[in-house]
């Protein structure tokens, strides 16, 4: 007599007793569910009751599709179509829905059921709850991603290192040998030649400064943040005092709101305040009635918005978008010195705190820089 195909669950006297078979089904940890060819549930084992939360009495006779999570509804019909063609559906992963409406990841196998004459009468699906495996897999993925990130940071670190080391060496040679030319062959070079050599010296130093600033930015974006209670008003007051002390000849009036408590990284926020107030100080240098203000204001979507306002040189609003990019300068270095990195640092730090920064201003009418921090940190 021919063996029934192994994947078919054929209930036959010759093969096994119905009682033994039923015992196996009932003691299985996997949900074993019978369906008719039109997709109605015909049998329901105890594991299915435990897994889905329906007792056999309330689910038998209902459409099997209620067990599918919405994302897998199409699969029930497709499985039945394959079963109708006599095919076996090897195990695949999907989502199933419990009685209480929650979904769980499941591994499912569907096989045809035939009667003694070999006619197709339905399908049997074996479902295993793979929540734990899915969680383990997700955890492994998180670890893997953390590992990738660490590796990427590591290679960034060595990139940083070689930028710092390898790019400075040729600059030193350009600057050094130009200086040697000037010293030893200044007479031969003549006035123009000397000026050219001086330009090489100046350009090398400028590039060295650019590299250093690039490195600073890259380091800043990777330093670990330590959130702490910080009073931005107190920080502002201290920086104002430092600015005044470093340049006692200037008369600047500061209006600083206090206290302005935030949850933030102290060192990084000090850098933000230092850059914004330092800019305000610098760009009001042409005024006898310089006024610099720090405070908070409600603004749009954020609960609190911090601002630094000055009545200095301002900027052309047409170039607002360039303000926060590294090495962008809206004023000639001869008028207001700077390396074009300060506001890029501000943006980087504010964004790392989950906030954003923007500016308003007009030429000759001062500037206001606004920033927000993550809602949770205010």
Partner 1 sequence: MTSRPILLVEDNPDDVALTLRALKKNNILNPINVASDGAEALTFLFDGDDTQTREPGLILLDLKLPKVDGLEVLRRIRADERTSLIPIVILTSSKLEEDILSGYRNGANGYVRKPVNFAEFAEAIKTVGLFWLLLNEPVPE
Site map 57..96 versus partner 1, x via CB under 8 A:
----------------------------------------
Which spans in 91-223 are helix H? 131-166, 168-220
CB of 146 to partner 1, least distance (A): 21
- One of 29, 116, 141, 205 touching partner 1 (CB under 8 A): 205
Pick 125 or 204: Cβ nearer partner 1? 204
Pick 208 or 304: Cβ nearer partner 1? 208
Alpha-carbon distance of 64 to 365, in angstroms, equals 72
Place of tokens 């045809």: 112
Q: Does 10 bind partner 1 (CB under 8 A)?
A: no
Q: How many residues bind partner 1 (CB under 8 A)?
A: 21
Burial of 197 (0-12, 13-18, 19+ CB in 10 A): buried
CB of 328 to partner 1, least distance (A): 23
CA–CA distances in Å: residue 261 to residues 94, 293, 296, 304, 347: 49, 17, 11, 11, 20
Pick 143 or 267: Cβ nearer partner 1? 267
CB of 204 to partner 1, least distance (A): 6
Pick 92 or 161: Cβ nearer partner 1? 161
User: 342-352 and 168-220 helices cross at what angle (nearest 10)?
Assistant: 30
Touching partner 1, residues 163-192 (CB under 8 A):
164-166, 168-173, 175-180
CB of 183 to partner 1, least distance (A): 8
CB of 177 to partner 1, least distance (A): 7
Site map 126..165 versus partner 1, x via CB under 8 A:
----------------------------------xx--xx
CB of 225 to partner 1, least distance (A): 18
Pick 157 or 335: Cβ nearer partner 1? 157
CB of 220 to partner 1, least distance (A): 14
Residues 6+ apart with CB under 8 A from 348: 217, 220, 221
Query: Shortest CA distance to 375 belongs to which of 317, 301, 325, 322?
Result: 301
Beta bridge partners of 302: 299
CB burial of 252-287 (b: ≥16 within 10 Å; e: otherwise) equals bebebbeebebebbeebbbbbbbbbbbbbbbbbeeb
Pick 56 or 209: Cβ nearer partner 1? 209
Q: Does 201 bind partner 1 (CB under 8 A)?
A: yes
CB-CB contact of 90 with 6 (8 Å):
no
Residues that bind partner 1 (CB under 8 A): 160-161, 164-166, 168-173, 175-180, 201, 204-205, 208
């Amino acid at each position: 007599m021919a063996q029934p195909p192994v994947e078919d669950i054929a209930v036959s006297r010759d093969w096994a007793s119905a009682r033994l078979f039923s015992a196996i089904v009932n003691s299985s940890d996997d949900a074993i569910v019978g369906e008719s060819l039109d997709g109605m549930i015909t049998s329901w084992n105890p594991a299915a009751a435990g897994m889905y939360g329906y007792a056999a009495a309330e689910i038998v006779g209902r459409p099997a599709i209620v067990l599918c999570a919405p994302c897998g509804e199409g699969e029930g019909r497709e499985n039945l179509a394959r079963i109708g063609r006599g095919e076996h559906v090897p195990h695949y992963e999907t989502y199933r829905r419990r009685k209480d409406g929650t979904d769980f990841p499941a591994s499912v196998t569907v096989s045809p059921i035939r009667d003694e004459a070999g006619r197709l009468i339905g399908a049997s699906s074996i479902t295993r709850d793979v929540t734990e495996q899915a969680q383990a897999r997700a955890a492994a993925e998180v670890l893997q991603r953390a590992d990738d990130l660490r590796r990427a940071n590591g290679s960034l670190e060595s990139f940083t290192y070689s930028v710092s080391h390898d790019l400075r060496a040729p600059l030193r040679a350009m600057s050094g040998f130009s200086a040697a030319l000037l010293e030893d062959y200044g007479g031969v070079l003549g006035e123009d030649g000397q000026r050219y050599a001086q330009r090489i010296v100046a350009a090398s130093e400028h590039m060295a400064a650019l590299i250093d600033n690039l490195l600073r930015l890259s380091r800043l974006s990777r330093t670990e943040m330590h959130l702490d209670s910080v009073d931005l008003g107190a920080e502002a007051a201290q920086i104002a005092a430092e600015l005044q002390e470093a340049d006692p000849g200037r008369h600047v009036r500061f209006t600083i709101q206090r206290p302005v408590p935030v949850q933030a990284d102290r060192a990084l926020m000090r850098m933000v305040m230092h850059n914004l107030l330092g800019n305000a100080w610098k760009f009001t240098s042409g005024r006898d009635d310089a006024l610099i203000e720090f405070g908070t204001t409600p603004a749009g979507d954020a609960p609190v918005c911090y601002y630094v306002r000055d009545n200095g040189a301002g900027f052309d609003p047409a170039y607002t978008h360039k303000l926060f990019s590294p090495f962008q300068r809206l004023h000639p270095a001869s008028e207001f010195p700077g390396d074009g990195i300060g506001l890029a640092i501000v943006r980087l730090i504010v964004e790392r705190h989950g906030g954003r920064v923007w500016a308003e201003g007009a030429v000759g009418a001062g500037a206001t820089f606004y920033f927000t921090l993550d809602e949770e940190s205010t």
